Structure formats: structure tokens, C-alpha cells
């Protein structure tokens, strides 16, 4: 991983809110373990991230636009922000960990 990717991982870690802050903070010095995939998991047109915990569990972090920036939040935060959403965020996490 080059400096650009490391810097991007660090910037993403700094911009995370809610539970995601604590999850990314664990990986601040090991970005190879932090972000294993970038994809639009909830099909909203904003790229999302998949992080891997030390125990191998994959945790989705969903991109949300706030002004001109994209921040990353946990599934529980997405459910708080969009309580009427038809997207089942728990199912997405379960499929990542099959």
C-alpha cells in the first residue's frame, strides 16, 4: 500500500462518525486491515467501505453525503437516519460474513 492509499485511509478514519469512529480508530496504524473493499452496498450512488476486524468479521460502513463531503457511518446509524428505509442493513452485513 502506497502513501496515497495510507493517507486516504487515515483521512477516512478521521471523517467517520458514530460507532464507525471507534472501529476505524483500531486500524489507524494498520490500514491494510482497515479497508478491504469499496463498493456501493446499499445502491444509493455513494461509495461504501467494508472494514475487517482483527477476528475476520467484515463490517460495512455506509457513505453519506454531508454538504460537499462523504462521511462513513455504521448500519445502526443508517437505520437511525433512515428509519423508513426498505434496505435491510443487517442482511448486508450477514452476507458479507458468509
Q: Where are the domains of the chain?
A: 3-96
Three-class DSSP labels, 53-84:
CCCCCEEEEEEEEECCEEEEECHHHHHHHCCC
Secondary structure class of 35 (helix, strand, coil): strand
Give the model's pLDDT for residue 11: 46
Residues 6+ apart with CB under 8 A from 16: 23, 24, 61, 71, 72, 73
User: What confidence score (pLDDT) does residue 34 get?
Assistant: 64
What integer pLDDT is reported at residue 33 of this predicted model?
55
Q: Which residue, chain included where needed, has cell 445502491?
A: 43
DSSP-based three-state secondary structure for 88? coil
pLDDT per position as a tens digit, 30-75? 444 567 788 999 999 999 999 888 888 898 999 999 999 999 999 9
Amino acid at each position: 500500500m502506497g502513501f496515497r492509499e495510507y493517507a486516504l485511509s487515515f483521512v477516512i478514519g478521521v471523517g467517520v462518525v458514530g460507532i464507525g469512529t471507534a472501529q476505524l480508530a483500531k486500524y489507524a496504524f494498520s490500514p491494510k486491515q482497515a479497508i478491504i473493499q469499496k463498493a456501493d452496498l446499499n445502491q444509493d450512488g455513494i461509495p461504501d467501505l467494508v472494514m475487517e476486524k482483527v477476528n475476520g468479521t467484515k463490517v460495512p460502513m455506509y457513505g453519506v453525503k454531508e454538504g460537499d463531503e462523504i462521511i462513513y457511518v455504521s448500519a445502526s446509524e443508517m437505520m437511525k437516519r433512515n428509519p423508513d428505509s426498505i434496505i435491510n442493513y443487517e442482511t448486508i452485513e450477514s452476507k458479507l460474513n458468509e
